[in-house]
C-alpha cells in the first residue's frame, strides 16, 4: 500500500479504536442523551465497518479483473502503458518549457 493510503487506514483504525474506547468508558454513564449518542456511535461504527469491507472487496475484484485483462492481452497492455507514459512525459515537458519562456 502506498503511504497516503496506509496513513488513512491507520487513522481510520485509530478513530475506530478511540470510538470503541469511548463507548466502553461511557457505559456506566446514565442519561437519555448519552444513551442515544452511544447508540448512534455504535451504529456508525458498524456502518463504517461494512462500507470498508465493501470497498476492500471492490478493490480486490477490480485488481483481479485488471490482472486477468493484462494476462490475456499483454501486448495491448504494454502499448497502452507506453502511450500513457509518452503522453504524461509530453505534458510534463510542455509544462516545464512554458515556465522558462
Name 44's Cβ contacts closer than 8 Å, sequence gap at least 6. 19
First-to-last alpha carbon distance for the chain, in angstroms, is: 39
Q: What is the pLDDT of residues 60-76, one digit of tens each?
A: 999 999 999 999 999 99
Q: What is the pLDDT of residues 14-44, one digit of tens each?
A: 777 777 777 777 777 767 777 777 778 778 8
Q: What is the pLDDT of residues 83-100, one digit of tens each?
A: 999 999 999 998 887 655
Question: What is the secondary structure of 65-92 as a DSSP string?
Answer: HHHHHHHH-HHHHHHHHHHHHHHHHHHH
d(CA 95, CA 90): 8
DSSP code for 29: -
8 Å CB contact between 41 and 19: yes
Q: What is the pLDDT of residues 37-65, one digit of tens each?
A: 777 877 887 888 788 788 888 989 999 99
Q: What is the pLDDT of residue 37?
A: 76
Amino acid at each position: 500500500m502506498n503511504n497516503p493510503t496506509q496513513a488513512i487506514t491507520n487513522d481510520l483504525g485509530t478513530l475506530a479504536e478511540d470510538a470503541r474506547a469511548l463507548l466502553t468508558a461511557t457505559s456506566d454513564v446514565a442519561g437519555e442523551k448519552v444513551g442515544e449518542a452511544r447508540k448512534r456511535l455504535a451504529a456508525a461504527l458498524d456502518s463504517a465497518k461494512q462500507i470498508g469491507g465493501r470497498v476492500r472487496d471492490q478493490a480486490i475484484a477490480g485488481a483481479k479483473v485488471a490482472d486477468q485483462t493484462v494476462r490475456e492481452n499483454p501486448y495491448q497492455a504494454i502499448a497502452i502503458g507506453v502511450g500513457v507514459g509518452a503522453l504524461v512525459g509530453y505534458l510534463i515537458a510542455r509544462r516545464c518549457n512554458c515556465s522558462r519562456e
